[in-house]
Amino acid sequence: MVEPMKSSINKDEIFQPRQLLVTGGAGFIGSNFVRYWRDRYPSDRIIVLDALTYAGNRGNLADLEGKEGFQFVQGNICDRSLVDRLLQVENIDTIAHFAAESHVDRSIVEPDTFIQTNIVGTFTLLEAYRQHWNQIARQGVFLHVSTDEVYGSLLPNEPAFAETTPYAPNSPYSASKAGSDHLVRSYHHTYGLPTIITNCSNNYGSYQFPEKLIPLICINILRGKSLPVYGDGENIRDWLYVNDHCAALDIVIHQGKVGKTYNIGGNNQVRNIDLVNMLCQLIDELAPSLPVRPSNQLITFVKDRLGHDRRYAIDSNKIKTELGWTPSVTFAEGLRQTVDWYLTHQDWWMPLLSTEYQDYC
């Protein structure tokens, strides 16, 4: 696994250890962030709150279990009494809010779950933090990790999403994230709560649940299953290596301006069909034996997703100019590292391929 990018934060400038609550810390981005933060700030205390729904996996944090300064709590962010208790007992000053339902396909099938978790859950956290904030006498922040999908879809020649781009969500998932963004913003402007919003592009890396495109393609190649590509495969996404994302969030927490929004992108706009072919080439090269070779024979075009956004692209100029962050891992490097991780961690993803998961796929 690639070592996390070295942040520009000077540890000597950090005078007091943080008491950090990470919601959704057993998920893909959340668990990578917890591991990054633990390595970089070992004196901070980290409390992970995760409901362990299908995409949350406590095993993602197995190497931290039982260690001083780390605690895992299974629970739902909509449980106000639990959140209140954690904030008070653990004397939390900083919240890194990752917990969310995040898969567009699932939001089309069961939108009610997305409204409950992404909107009601975020509201519950904000209300609890608002009351708790008045009782603590030190610096902290409520970091809300969101998505570029709130901005809608771009035409081929349109400029990338900036922080000033109007919201235009096109799926129940992106609409629920847009709603949560608006709530977070309002709590700063109405109550003075120290909130920051980040909107990131598509993440990739280790520990990503296999319903998402990159792990799905990797795993299906290894199993000799078809590689589904929506529509004509021309949809474009901007890909961000998860460790680079964690480094960006580190800088935002320590140096970002409260009440502001920062877009975080990887500067890697790639067509879906090109990405699938890149994965086929990498696995053909790295895997000693495959059920089907060359694996691109498995590519199958399927009926397009309802309301499928055509193109996403992030303009990260603000975080680069104001905070000095840029991606450190090239797409070629990050993709190779990611493929290698899935090849060597079949013991992690094999148990996730339940009958329910396969029926859903």
Please state, in angstroms and rounded to a whole number, the distance separating the CA atoms of residues 260 and 188: 9
pLDDT at 234 over 80: yes
Reported as a single tens digit per residue, the pLDDT across 239-273 is 999 999 999 999 999 999 999 999 999 999 999 99
Residue 4 has a pLDDT of 44
Mean pLDDT of 132-161: 92
11 or 289, greater pLDDT: 289
pLDDT at 51 over 80: yes
pLDDT at 2 over 70: no
Please state, in angstroms and rounded to a whole number, the distance separating the CA atoms of residues 170 and 311: 12
Task: Work out the pLDDT band at 358, boundaries 50, 70, 90.
Answer: low
Task: Tell me the whole-structure pTM to 2 decimals.
Answer: 0.93
Q: Biggest alpha carbon distance in the chain?
A: 62
Domains of the chain are 18-206+240-267+310-328 (3.40.50.720)
> What share of the chain in percent tops pLDDT 90?
82
Residue 8 has a pLDDT of 47
Please state, in angstroms and rounded to a whole number, the distance separating the CA atoms of residues 231 and 305: 8
Mean pLDDT of 5-28: 73
Task: Work out the pLDDT band at 11, boundaries 50, 70, 90.
Answer: very low
pLDDT at 308 over 50: yes
Instruction: Let me know the angle formed at the C-alpha of 243 by 345 and 237, rounded to the nearest 5 degrees.
Output: 90
Question: Which SS3 state, helix, strand or coil, does residue 293 take?
Answer: coil
Mean pLDDT of 15-43: 95
What does the DSSP assignment read for 300-349?
Answer: EEEPPPTT---B--B--HHHHHHH-----S-HHHHHHHHHHHHHH-HHHH
Mean pLDDT of 281-303: 96
Task: Work out the pLDDT band at 141, boundaries 50, 70, 90.
Answer: very high
> What share of the chain in percent tops pLDDT 70?
93
Residue 290 has a pLDDT of 96
Please state, in angstroms and rounded to a whole number, the distance separating the CA atoms of residues 43 and 251: 17
Strand partners, 315: none
Reported as a single tens digit per residue, the pLDDT across 76-115 is 999 999 999 999 999 999 999 999 987 677 878 888 999 9
Q: How far is CA 237 from the centre of its chain?
A: 15
Q: Which residues are catalytic?
A: 148-149, 173
Task: Work out the pLDDT band at 360, boundaries 50, 70, 90.
Answer: low
Residue 14 has a pLDDT of 47
Residue 92 has a pLDDT of 97
Mean pLDDT of 65-83: 96
Three-state SS letters, 173-197: HHHHHHHHHHHHHHHHHHHCCCEEE
DSSP letter at 288? S
